[in-house]
Amino acid sequence: MYKSVLIAAALFSEGATTKAAIARARKMLDTGGKITLVHVIDEVPGYVAASIPKEHLTARRRDVEEQMSALASGASDIEIVVREGQPSAGILGTAQEIGADLIMIASHKPGFGDFFIGSTASRIVRHAQVSVLVSR
């Protein structure tokens, strides 16, 4: 069905939602297709970043990369991408760069703040140029 599936990786709860998404994506993947796991580290405002030691930010990125590698567990059909910035923009940009046919993202039950700001999943659904599968 799909040649290239992008999964927005959630790293909480030991990646349970991402592991489920990987299993689901494999069922929908064409022979020879690929899965790309992407995690976007939310940007830290400049006034805050100035007071955070650079080593802390570097350690955070290394921790994310290690968690992503563990989720991929050495599979040859999974590529890992770690970006920094605004999550929805990073996910959509990666989808466009790799030519994804499908974006998979988990969503939480929307809270009051989501009505004014909007969640990452809702931004992806509104602005994606390809199909989006949202799971809860």
Report pLDDT digits (tens) over 33-73: 999 999 999 888 878 878 888 898 889 999 999 999 999 98
Is residue 136 within 8 Å of residue 122, measured between CB atoms? no
Q: How confident is the model at residue 135 (pLDDT cuts 50, 70, 90)?
A: confident
- The tokens for 22 are 């990987």
Residue ranges per structural domain of the chain: 2-135
Report pLDDT digits (tens) over 78-119: 999 999 999 999 999 999 999 999 999 988 666 655 554 458
Report pLDDT for 41. 93
Report pLDDT for 4. 97
**10 Å Cβ neighbour count for 92?**
21
Rounded to whole angstroms, the Cα distance separating 121 from 135 reads 10
Rounded to whole angstroms, the Cα distance separating 70 from 62 reads 12
Q: CA angle, 22 as apex, 86 and 131 as ends, to 5°?
A: 60
Report pLDDT for 109. 63
Q: Which CATH number fits domain 2-135: 3.30.450.20, 1.10.3720.10, 3.40.50.620, 3.30.379.10?
A: 3.40.50.620
Q: How far is CA 73 from the centre of its chain?
A: 16
Report pLDDT digits (tens) over 115-131: 544 588 889 999 999 99
Phi first, then psi: what are they for 80, rounded to 5°? Answer: -115, 135
Q: Enter the pTM of the model.
A: 0.87
Rounded to whole angstroms, the Cα distance separating 119 from 3 reads 27
Q: What is the mean pLDDT of the chain?
A: 88
